[in-house]
Structure 1
Amino acid sequence: MDWVQRFFDTAPQWWGPQAVRESDRRRAESIARLAGTGVERVLELGAGSGTTAVVTADLGYSVVAVELSSVRARQASERAGEVAGRDLRIVEGDFYAVELGEQFDCVVYWNGFGVGTDAEQRALLRRVSAEWLRPGGAMIVDVFSPWKWARVAGELDHEKYVVELANSNDYDPVTSRFNDRWWPVGKESEALDQFGRCYTPADLLLLVEGTGLAVERMELDGTELRPDQRYSATHPLWDAWEYQAVLRRTA
């Protein structure tokens, strides 16, 4: 995963400052519904520029947010410092290696689960269960859904940020991994790639086995997804970039 730090140290400078979005608010507000009662302390993995972490702290949670990219960790720290009174701490570090020395009622991982191999995902889930989640605590993750990524494979878009960017996507149906490539228009030699593993709901159930966590619920826009259910080609999951899963500590 050598690409991760390089990508997220550089691409955010192309994209420019990120404002708090409605999706940040929806994510933060979903914690109480998905994780259950008694949640006070929240750990956010892959915090980006801190937009969701700040909103989560605004809701009254005590939040620790871990971010690998020094550029985005600095942005998150600056955002956290703009308004006093929040119980929010930004930690720059690799969440596969960082030592926090504390437990949380809920661990969240928004829009990033699937970076790395299956073995690395399992190692992370085991670490969440063994070190960071209190007994009975919940982990909430956004899970990349394969069907949308497969359909956009081969497409090329241009988008205006701080600079005009080109964006292309590819998808490997054998490994169920996507490749999301960005570069300033006219400078493809500077292109940066990010990669992610997609999991169907059935795949996720298999991945989580033996990690000390169990899948409690999977949903898309609040509607439950059940692996034993048959889904037609018109189901919203076919057009979704990701869905949400709640994993509960079992030991």
Structure 2
Amino acid sequence: MSTTAPPNRPQVSLPGQVHTAEGPLDMSGMYVMHHAFRRDLDAFCAAAERTPLEDAATWRALAGRWERFATMLHHHHAVEDASIWPALSERVRAVEGAPATLEAMHAEHATIDPVLARCAELFDAMSTAPDAATREALAEQLTATRDLLIRHLAHEETEALPLAQRHLPLSDWAASEKAAQRSYGLRDTGFLVPWAAEGLSQEALDRAFATVGPTFRLAYRLTRGRFARREAAAFRYV
């Protein structure tokens, strides 16, 4: 008895995205997160260069905002490592090049956490005892971090996500998305929703909300104002 393959789903294509993996899995949430990471790193790089040394309040706001960014990125990678790559690995052992790609995802994640921590140290230094040398070191570290993450996201979008589209069942993908949603606490969700939505077109926003249900749309309405005020405080010179 033959079975009909599930149809391809429309996928979002966002600024900075280097490849769109076509297939039956709705990867809107994945691409929205990638867009937010790229957007934030551009903003942090600009803020490090433009924020006046003497503006202690803004440096403190930037340090706090970096902590939230790093938390979102670490959490995103943890979900992939626990829920997506292991399930996919079981199904692509015999696919040429696939095991190496998934091993690289884990290895690249491990290289990112230390550079996030180093940026946090420099932001903390700027918020307590700012000086030109620390600002220069921070700007250089942020640029290196952005370049590292952009390479990783490009690798994931061009190789790992297409593997998932070809080999991961809809049920496994749905389970990974539910696991991700359950793993966010209330405080994290209050930041995650407006943060991920920032800068999206209405079409992309509607598609993203369609994949996560009405609770997230309500959370967006309740939290976007506070989020916008805090963004303005942290990135006031960008």
> When you count strand as a share of all residues, which structure comes out higher?
1
- Per the normalisation by structure 1, the TM-score is 0.27
In our comparison, the structure showing a higher alpha carbon Rg is: 2
Task: Say which structure, 1 or 2, has more relative contact order (CA 8 Å, 6+ apart).
Answer: 2
> When you count helix as a share of all residues, which structure comes out higher?
2
